[in-house]
Structure 1
Amino acid sequence: MNLKTLLSSVLVLLPLSAFAAPQTSSGVIRFTGQIVDSGCEVGRVGSLASSASRQIELQPGVKLDVDTYRNACSHQALPFSVTYQALKTSTDNGIVTITYL
């Protein structure tokens, strides 16, 4: 009885362990899947070609346009975070960092 149980367990687990093992392709990374939504174009206010956009205010006087026409930003959620850091040498210039989630 124990031999039958052991043999059946090995026959079930052996194929699973072969598929679970990492596959090496000499340094090549492969991705599978599909792109569901295209990315969002972000730019200065008035710089986007699309008429479907919304504005994000980073701080008073600093705004960005986000293209919302048939892409990942077309709903209320934005798939990125935006930060603004003013430059010490200028009062009206700064660095905008966009980080996609």
Structure 2
Amino acid sequence: MKLKTALPYVLLLLPLTSFAAPGNQSGEIRFTGQIVDSGCEVGRVGALSSSESRQVELKPGLKLDIDAYRNACSHETLPMTMTFEPLKTSTDKGIVTITYL
């Protein structure tokens, strides 16, 4: 009697287990969705063509323009951190690293 009661539930859940199990994609990772906020364009002061930009002082004497027109940087806080690492061969040149949060 218990087998007759359990059999319809097993038949109902069996197809669901095949959809829940991960398939073998030969090492591929796939993402689905949409980009809600586009990324922020960053450049030297005066280099951006957008009329809506914000200036951020990365270190004393080094300012960057950040495009703030309809993208992730148009909000009050910037969704990134920026660091500057000076080159050993020059005192005024270096590498700016931008990391999105």
TM-score exceeds 0.5: yes
Instruction: Report the TM-score when normalising by structure 2.
Output: 0.81
- Matched residue count: 101
| CA deviation vs aligned residue, 1:2-50 (integer Å, no higher than 9, x gap) | 3245324423431221111223455654432222222110001111000
Within 5 Å, give how 1:6-45 maps onto structure 2.
Answer: 6-25=6-25, 29-45=29-45
Sequence identity (%): 72
Question: Unpaired segments of 5 or more residues in structure 2?
Answer: none
Instruction: Report the TM-score when normalising by structure 1.
Output: 0.81
Distance 2:96 2:50 in 1: 21
C-alpha RMSD of the superposition: 2.1
| CA deviation vs aligned residue, 1:56-92 (integer Å, no higher than 9, x gap) | 1111111111000011111023222211111222221
Distance 2:81 2:4 in 1: 57
Question: Unpaired segments of 5 or more residues in structure 1?
Answer: none
Within 5 Å, give how 1:1-101 maps onto structure 2.
Answer: 1-25=1-25, 29-101=29-101
